[in-house]
Amino acid sequence: MRRLEISDHSRDNAGLKYVYPVVSRRAGGVSIGINLSPEASCNFRCVYCQVPGLSRGKSAEVDIPQLEAELGQMLSVICQGDFFAKRVPVGSQQLKDFAFSGDGEPTSAPNFGDVVDCVIRVAAKRVETQPLPLVVITNGTLASQPAVQSAFKRLGAHKGRIWFKLDAVTRAGFDRINSTPLAAEDHLDRLEATARLCPTWIQRCVFGFEGTASDDEAEYLSVVRTLLADGVPLRGMLMYSLARPSQQPEAPKLRALSQAELEVRAEPFRRLGLDVSVHA
């Protein structure tokens, strides 16, 4: 296994099908990644996506016994011996969470609910004062499906969290950034429903795109203001920029923002009372 770096989130680092360790900026340490799309299929095609060979589609059914075995194996490697000293940069040498992430939309797996139950089961076996949180990083497009909502509700009952991708707030913005022209009102309804089922943070990638901002800042701010005024229980926003090269055709047109630029973007949202963390 290679040394872990923020700039390298390779899914094959541990030689496993579903499970891989990464250093996560947003988590603030080591995250055990769970890749439910090893075939690199997703219903989004974000212009900043780092996944090579990405194709449109949904995840295949997950082999639950194999996933459970891989999670146990990874925990053994991380929690015993000198894993942190040898493979993790100073300042990140702490295990922070399990994260459903990877190379596609995790909730598109046909047995996503069984996967959630599996990870809850594995997490419960850890004898710790503070169990590891379970984080689902999702684009939210399937969050209105009853099976997904049921899984989110169980996740919420076991100290889980949702990081709900919201890079844009208009149909044109979704099309430009995520290559998927979503109906904005429907998608915001899914965000609200998710936030009422499980602790939810907005996850937003911000970057320069063809010399301009990646989305309309004033419109985004207005949407968040309305959500908060309507009592949607958002826990905060995770605002970040590009840490790894995009593998999409738009890559030459993208520019990572600095920490200072992100702080400027974050301040209006903080003035609304929203907790915003920024990660350049």
pLDDT tens by residue, 111-133: 999 999 999 999 887 655 567 88
Of residues 135, 103, 131, 120, the one with CA closest to residue 24: 135
The pLDDT > 70 percentage for the chain reads: 88
**The pTM is what?**
0.89
Using the predicted structure, report yes or no on whether residue 146 has a pLDDT greater than 90. yes
Of residues 8, 11, 9, 5, the one with CA closest to residue 91: 5
Average pLDDT over residues 215-230: 93
CATH for the 19-279 domain, from 1.10.10.10, 3.20.20.70, 1.10.3720.10, 2.70.70.10 = 3.20.20.70
Residue 4: its pLDDT value, please? 53
At 150-199, the pLDDT tens digits run 999 999 999 899 999 999 999 999 999 999 999 999 999 999 999 999 99
The mean of the pLDDT values for the chain is 89
More confident residue, 195 or 94: 195
At 14-65, the pLDDT tens digits run 578 999 988 877 667 888 999 999 999 999 999 999 999 999 999 999 999 9
Give the range among 90-104, 137-151, 192-206, 219-233 with minimum mean pLDDT.
Answer: 90-104
Residue 26, helix vs strand vs coil:
coil
DSSP bridge pairs for 209: 212, 254
Residues 6+ apart with CB under 8 A from 267: none
Residue 94: its pLDDT value, please? 78
Q: Strand runs (DSSP E) across 25-177, as ranges? A: 29-35, 41-42, 55-56, 95-101, 134-138, 160-165
Q: Are strands 207-209 and 134-138 parallel, antiparallel or unpaired?
A: unpaired
Residues 6+ apart with CB under 8 A from 24: 6, 30, 31, 96, 97, 99
Distance CA 36, CA 221 (A): 32
Distance CA 140, CA 168 (A): 13
Residues 6+ apart with CB under 8 A from 164: 138, 139, 140, 143, 191, 194, 195, 200, 201, 202, 203
Q: How confident is the model at residue 9 (pLDDT cuts 50, 70, 90)?
A: very low
Sign of CA dihedral 189, 194, 195, 201: negative
Q: How many C-beta atoms surround the C-beta of residue 165 within 10 A?
A: 21
Residue 178: its pLDDT value, please? 96
Contact of 167 with 119, CB cutoff 8 Å: no
